[in-house]
Structure formats: structure tokens, C-alpha cells
Amino acid sequence: MCGIVGFTEFQHSLANRSEILTNMATSIARRGPDEYDYFHDAKISLAHRRLVVIDPEGGKQPMSATYEGVTYTIVYNGQIYNTKELRNELLDFGFTFSTHSDTEVLLKAFIHYGYRVVDHLIGIFAFAIWSDKKQELFLARDHFGIKPLYYTEKNGEFIFASEVKALFHYPAIEPVINATGIGELFGVGPAHTPGISAFKDIFELKPAHFLIARVDQVYQEEYWKLESKPHTDSFEKTCETVKYLLEDSIERQLVSDMPLCTFLSGGLDSSIITLYASNYYQKHHLGILPTYSVDYVDNDKNFVKTDFQPNSDNEYIALMQEKLQTKHTRIVLDTPDLAGSLEDAMLARDFPGMADVDSSLLLFCRAVKKEMTVALTGECADEIFAGYPWFFREDALHSHTFPWSIALKERQCLLNPAIATGIHLEDYVNARYQESLARVKMLDTDSSETAEKRNISYLTLNWFMQTLLDRSDRMAMYAGLELRVPFCDHRLVEYMWNVPWDMKAYNGREKGLLRHIMKEELPAEIVERKKSPYPKTWNPTYLAAVKKMLSETLEDSNAPIYELLNRSYIREILDTEGKAFTRPWFGQLMTGPQLMAYLCQVNMWLKTYRPKIEL
């Protein structure tokens, strides 16, 4: 995986363009710690930061190829999992290859298929290709936005980067927050609305979209979306298809020229990934599969059972490790490190995030990176196979808002009353909620239950899953580790989209279909284990640490967040140690301590980026 940046020079030539390009690329160097290179033409500047995974010598970027008098140059972040098939197709069309990198295959596939190359890709990607004769820049992002890509326009020029922070190294691009930004920060955060950022006039290329930038036009198009259609497969055929797609996706993602592992939590999802990966390693004589898990100092002493986290992981990890005989490493994090890494986690995201849920993943990835370059994770199974409590809870299904973020009145109370009078978070969130539901296509044959579940599935896939995918990419890449998500294969997702609810929730269980498919392959204890999310710390010293951090911030009249917050309301939260937020205010894990940490991250974010606030 890598980081990419670039800008056009349609209207203006920059005398110091090499310096600007280098500064942009350097700001995201953690995404690609192994190599740096750049490309300049009369009307374009491109740069690439590389994390070497495939073909160390042949995969260098920017990469150029000339065909019928036109030179095409690519910068690319991602992994194409159907590289072998694409290469064979292109060989049949007369193309030749000098490397075994997926970069060269992607570039020549674009030369052959043009804009519709996106219809031929299985993988995770964000890339830009410059065509010199056309004077045209083409950008594309994968089906679910697993790889990030941001852009803006300034004085007739188009500027893009893997991360927002790089854009601020281009002349005259300044961070500005308006009412939309406040809505993103306090209304939907740590999620975000697809296609925008918290900064005014800085956008993300939406998932499943491509963009064409020319001197006189910037054009976007959606190339893929979920289509509702009748599901005609029997239950047995459905199980067979899902199993094939899942195994195929996992095996495609086990290709790497660098050390590879899986994350193993002992839950159903990571156990499936590890099972198939371990079988693949044995079949191809690749040795013993390395696996990793995360835990916290004294978590066994402090764990508290909840509806959202019913049990701890360790006994289930041991069960899977014994069954598969993997080489397992348990990473144990300490509470002071979690609180101390909140700022790094914010910098990795360019946005306040999921508090210690982010910083713990960042620290975990740093520890794994000492020995590994690539890791496979069970992320996204809950979104695709209906694993979250809100698929089943009546209060969540009928909340008339995003079911993982229902504390809207409490969120409004966080704002300084002087600001809150002009910014109505509930209205902002409701508008985003309604525009999302408007995109869901129902079938006349859908039962009321299936229609209800389509709505909640669409919201989960396009909002909550995006938040977790963003978290995974940013924390891992900040540590120089590539995370792959086999469940998030667009072929599997589009198939599961039309599977009826009674099949998906087989036997009335969350992920019932997936459990049924795996009942002969995994221990019963794993198959029947109740959903348990990414582990968080239960150590009371974490609450004490973030409480102290937020208290000090509130007392500092120079703190950037000072005028934004309703300080009396925040003090009430501090006085009760967050007990007003014993149920999650976002997702499944973020209660009072995480709210305190999130507000600290907002202050860190404002302090770092120093945005102008326009309200």
C-alpha cells in the first residue's frame, strides 16, 4: 500500500513545483515508508510514497507506458486481487509485461479498457492516471472506499492526495470549517458523510466513483452500486455460493512478497479468515501462519459484561490457535499508551476518531509491523451478514436516525449555546439520513421485514462500515502496515444484498447464515459465540487519564475548543465520570470515557490544523 499526491498545471506553472510536490508527499510518508519518486510533465506533477508488498524492483512508481503515441503515467495505492486474470486477458490482446507487479497490469488495463477499467477490477484501490496527449487526469476509487482519496480545486487547478493533510501543502489551500463542518464533527462524527470532509471545499472521491479532470471540466461518474433484484437461489445454493465467494476472496488476498499474517480475536469472522488462510498455507507449503491478537494490561481483572461486549477473547483465541497450530503472538497494550496515542490517531485520520478504539489499533499495528508487512482482518462481516445488535433491536430499527448514533439531543448539548442556536445537529443528521435512504431501491416482492432490513443494511454498509474501513486504513498505514479485508469483496456484498432476511438471519441469529455455513469447519464454541466487537480497555486508569486530559482542556481559555463547547454540560459529564453515556453514543464501544477522549481529539485537531471558523 502507498500514498499518492498530485496537481495539474493547466492554468499556472509553479516555479517551485518540485518543492511543493515533495512537501505534499512527505506529509504522508508513513503510508509509504520504503520509497519515494515523482513525475513532472508540462501540465501535471505526480508523486508516490511506496510500501513495498509486491515485486520490489518492478513495482516502482510513478510508472509510465506508451501506447500508440500516447504516454500514460500512473500513481496508485492499493492491491488488485484479480491481477493474474487481467494479465492473461491483456496478453491475449497483445500487451507485454516487464514486471509481475499489479501496477503495470492496472496501467495497461486502463490503456486497453479506458474509463471502464473499473468494471474489470477486484481489489482495493485509489489511483490517478495522466494521459499526455489528451491532457487529462483520471482518478478512481474502489467499490467501498477502502483506500482514501481527497481532492480540491484552486485557481483553475485540480489537486489530489491520499490524505487531507497533504492538500494543505499546496499554495493558498487553507483549512476552513463552516456549519457543515460542525455538523460533521458533532452531529455524525466520528463517522462522516460520503463525498465530503469537515473542511470547506475539500472533498473525497466517493467510493465506486471515477473522476476526470480536464482544463475546462471536472466530471464524476458512479461506476457501481448495489442493485436490488429477486434472489432465486435455494438455501443450499446460497450457502454454496457464499462459501465459494468467501474462500476465493481470502485466497486472492494471501498473495504477498512480504511477511503476511492474520488478526485472530477468536470471534467468528477472524476465525474464518484464519482457518482458510491456514489451510492455504498448508496446501501450498508456505509454513506456519502467523496470527496476532490485542489485549490490555489488567483487562481480565476489570472486564465488565455488556449487551455490546458479552465476553472477552482470550479463551477463544487459545481454542483456534490450538486447532490450527498457528504461530500466535499476543500484543498487550498499556493504558497510558492508549491515552498518549490519541493525538497520533487523530493525525492518522486527519479527523477526531473513535478515541482509544483508534489509538489501540494504531499501537497494535505498530507492534505487528515489527515483524509483518501485510495482515488480513475480519472487518466488514457484521455489516454484510447482519451481525450488529441494531439489526435486531426494535428501538434501533425504529429510531428514525442512524442506529449506531442515536444520542442526538445529548450531542446538541455539547455545543456552546451561542453556537447551538444557529446549528441544529438533529436537522443536519436527519437530512443526511433521508438522502441516504432515498438511494435504497426496494422490490415489489420485498416483505415489510426485508424492506426494513434493506434500509438498515444500506445505512450500515455506506456509513458505519465506511467509518471502520477508514479507521483500519488510517491506523494501519500510519504504522506502515497493509490491512486487507476479505469480507469486503464487492462480489460477496452484492450477492448478500439480495439474500432474504430469513436466510441471512438463519435460526433468528445475527450472522445466522454465516454460522450455518461454518458449523462443520469451526469449533462449536466459535460458531455459537455471541458477537463481540474489537476489544477495548476496561482499565479504570484510562477513564482517569482522559478525564484529567479533558478537565485541563476545559480550564484552558486558550484551548481552541473552548468557545465551541457547552462547558457546564461537559463538567456535568466529568463530575459523573461519563455515567450519562453508559450506553454507546457511537457504535458499540464508545461510552463516557470515549466521549471525553473524542472531545480531547477535537481540541487536538483544531490546535493542529488551525482552521478558520465560518459560522
Residue-level pLDDT at 579: 65
> How many structural domains is the chain composed of?
3
- In contact, 69 and 132? CB cutoff 8 Å: no
CATH number, domain with residue 178:
3.60.20.10
Residue-level pLDDT at 403: 93
535 domain-assigned: no
State the Cα–Cα distance between residues 349 and 189, nearest whole angstrom: 12
State the Cα–Cα distance between residues 61 and 88, nearest whole angstrom: 22
What residues contact 388, with CB distance under 8 A and at least 6 apart? Answer: 382, 404, 460, 464, 510, 531, 588
564 domain-assigned: yes
Residues labelled as active-site residues? 2
Q: Which of 505, 527, 549 is the last residue of a domain?
A: 527
Cβ-based burial of 44 (10 A; exposed 0-12, middle 13-18, buried ≥19): buried
Same domain, residue pair 302 and 351:
yes
348 domain-assigned: yes
Residue-level pLDDT at 447: 85
Q: Which of 501, 527, 553 is the last residue of a domain?
A: 527
Residue-level pLDDT at 12: 86
Residue-level pLDDT at 506: 96
Q: Which of 174, 191, 222 is the last residue of a domain?
A: 222
> What are the contacts of 83-87 at 24+ separation with CB within 8 A?
86/120, 86/121
Question: 560 lies in which domain range?
Answer: 540-613
Residue-level pLDDT at 268: 96
Longest CA pairwise span in the chain (Å): 71
Same domain, residue pair 131 and 54:
yes
Same domain, residue pair 459 and 585:
no
Q: Which residues of the chain have pLDDT under 50?
A: 308
Same domain, residue pair 504 and 550:
no
Q: What CA–CA distances, in Å, run from 82 to 105, 279, 372, 492?
A: 10, 21, 23, 15
547 domain-assigned: yes
Residue 7's identity, in one-letter code, is F
Backbone angles phi, psi at 192, to 5 degrees: -150, 155
State the Cα–Cα distance between residues 388 and 385, nearest whole angstrom: 9
